[in-house]
Structure 1
């Protein structure tokens, strides 16, 4: 007996929904990296946020860094693509350089600091530290998944 189209649709899995975020790893000439302490949860992260629907990724990075830190940046290159498999968030991370502006706090940040590599590893959770450290390498774009807390090992 043939299966009707309606029963095929009712058995179909829902279309997964994803959110796209962007982050800017802004590095100074001395190698320190711009970070914010988030107002909502107190974690240290590179500045970033949700990409708006009509916004190009590079424009989103510039907007987010400026909103959260007061600094204008030049986007250099994409350094990584990271997926939170628990929340369905895909993050695009870009290496950036300061073009102007003045550091300031925002309603999204309680602190703005320039951290060394060692400080990044000490202060940031694994999934954000790996994004920053990947961006500081001169390697190809990294693609990684995580569950919100731990990076998922990649298959070789």
Structure 2
């Protein structure tokens, strides 16, 4: 058992408004546009983690709807569970983790985000669950 690889589990929320736009953040640590999300804490469910991460990073409360994809960063051993969400209020401010928060249309997402993150958003608009691997930037 000692040789069993360790993985980190993260969660992300694809928050879609009534206009079909997606809530995204420009991260302070790397200046990249991404959906809000982060590491799942030991004492929380997946849905609790999504709600907490979206609230911490955007100031918005969400209703978690459904799991839309599972993604693995093969370089870093991070498994991300991604959920489609509905906003319950409006984003209020930049946060400690997000330098900027905004709504993006799908075409903007594809232009502004690395493929490994843009696909999480486009997958959330599909009816089926997706599983994908990437290297942190590009799909494998």
Report if TM-score (shorter chain) is over 0.5: yes
Deviation at 1:132?
0.5
**TM-score, normalising length from structure 1?**
0.87
Deviation at 1:115?
0.1
Is 1:144 aligned to 2:125, yes or no? no
Q: How many equivalent pairs are there?
A: 140
Matches within 5 A, 1:1-156: 14-100=3-89, 102-138=91-127, 140-152=128-140
**TM-score, normalising length from structure 2?**
0.96
> Which aligned runs of 4 or more in structure 1 are off by greater than 3 angstroms?
none
Structure 2: give runs of 5+ residues left out of the alignment.
Answer: none
Deviation at 1:53?
0.8
Greater Rg by CA: 1
Deviation at 1:28?
0.4
Deviation at 1:52?
0.2
Asked if the contact 2:91/2:101 (under 8 Å) is kept, the reply is: no
Q: CA RMSD in A?
A: 1.2
Provide the rounded CA distance (Å) in 2 between the counterparts of 1:13 and 1:144: 27
Structure 1: give runs of 5+ residues left out of the alignment.
Answer: 1-11
Deviation at 1:60?
0.2
